[in-house]
Amino acid sequence: MTTKSKTGHWTQSTPLYLDYQATTPTDPRVVDAMMPYWTDKFGNPHSRNHHYGWEAEDAVEKARESVASLIGANPKEIIFTSGATESNNLAIKGVARFYGDKKNHIITCVTEHKCVLETCRYLEHDGFDVTYLHVKENGLIDLDELKAAITDKTAIVSIMAVNNEIGVIQPLKEIGAICREAGVFFHTDAAQATGKIPLDVNEMNIDLMSISGHKFYGPMGIGALFVRRKPRVRLVPIIHGGGQERGMRSGTLPTPLVVGLGVAAEIAAKEMTAEAERLHGLRKRMLDGLQSRLPEIYVNGDLENRIPGNLNISFAYVEGEGLMMGIKELAVSSGSACTSASLEPSYVLRALGVEEEMAHTSLRLGLGRFTTEEEVDYAVERIASEVTRLREMSPLWDMAQAGIDIKSIKWAEH
């Protein structure tokens, strides 16, 4: 967390954290709840014949109820995993392997997280057909395109609830209705949505849902997969062993992490509404502040259908990574990829139709539970002054001011 010195400036050793979509700090209440399970209550929850095992098992089952309750599921439908990457792998590979003989088609979307896209690519090598739906300019899928893509060979539709870069919320209820009517399983990667927006697996007709602990103030290394019982979804497991988690995910459950996930879910259920309202206010303050100080900045992705803690902005004519170096007092993320060998900017922004040159100028600003109004004001001031400084140094800004269209210039792409 950031600390302020007496002069009102954040100390350089602890930059202001504005990257809540990358991870969130574990809530101290979560840590407190976890503590006894490392030392005193250290039993193996699968030990059925003594106090230590029973104690751990009780804690695990209580956490299962909390997680289930947050998404309107039955506790028996919650499988604990190591995180959303594993959950996504298990959901998609598991369904594909179980139903693959008869149904070998998967539908997903181009802006999904890499762990969904790479899982689908892997299955393509194994002979599955995958349809990658495009997104509209606002980052949302076209429901008619989804309907048209479903065939009698489609086993599963996997569409993320909330995008990790631009924070947009896909129309889950509508997607669920389409899938249910077509008799196709609907999986959603809800890593960025859980605890941020209300989710109800029955109302939304969701059959599988991936959850990550550290994205909503729980610990890293723990996640969950919701697997519907009625109508029943069957999976071929990825990890084989002692048959824990109804045989779908073998391995001893990490009791402290599971307890942490459960408490994170309880806190989210209680505080989500108030927190969302507060974050809406902070985001508006940040965007208004930046827009009042800077011309030619553009929000990427739909601003209405979006979690309140996310902003993704292109600061035209200023390269994102150069900007990040100038605002080192802030911990943020960029859609630019100047460090990658390919030099290709964010595939998510490109999928929205954001031009490459604009994708290179983007920053992702993530607000969360511990962000304050004062911090937002400080961030606005730092970003606005640095963008101004770098624009004065930018040949593209000069050209734009002189009325030259940078697209009219024949650039030598390197």
Q: Which of 109, 115, 179, 338 is catalytic?
A: 338
Distance CA 278, CA 84 (A): 27
Taking the complex as a whole, how short is the minimal distance between the CB of residue 394 and another protein, in angstroms? 4
Active site residue 109: no
Residue 283 or 360 with smaller CB distance to another protein: 360
Q: How far is the CB of 407 from another protein (least distance, A)?
A: 9
> What element of type H or E holds 58?
helix 51-70
Residue 411 CB, nearest distance to another protein (Å)?
Answer: 4
Q: Measure the CA–CA gap between 81 and 115, rounded to whole angstroms.
A: 15
Task: Give the bridge partners for 371, in sequence order.
Answer: none
Q: Which is nearer to another protein, 271 or 357 (CB)?
A: 357
CB of 352 to another protein, least distance (A): 16
CB closer to another protein, 110 vs 396: 396
When the beta carbons of 304 and 411 are compared against another protein, the nearer one is: 411
CB nearer to another protein: give 35 or 343. 343
Sheet containing strand 333-334, edge to edge, reads: 297-299, 310-315, 362-366, 333-334
Distance of CA 119 to the CA centre of its chain: 17
Q: Please, what is the minimum distance in Å from the beta carbon of residue 87 to another protein?
A: 31
What is the binding site for another protein (CB under 8 A)? 317-322, 325-326, 336-341, 343, 345, 355-357, 360, 392-398, 406, 411-414
Helix (H) or strand (E) run with residue 155 in it = strand 154-158
Integer Cα distance of 357 and 406 in angstroms: 10
Residues ≥6 apart with Cβ < 8 Å to 84:
113, 115, 189, 191, 210, 211, 212, 215, 223
Residue 196 neighbours by CB under 8 Å, 6+ apart: 162, 216, 268, 272, 276, 307, 308, 309
Residues with catalytic roles = 338
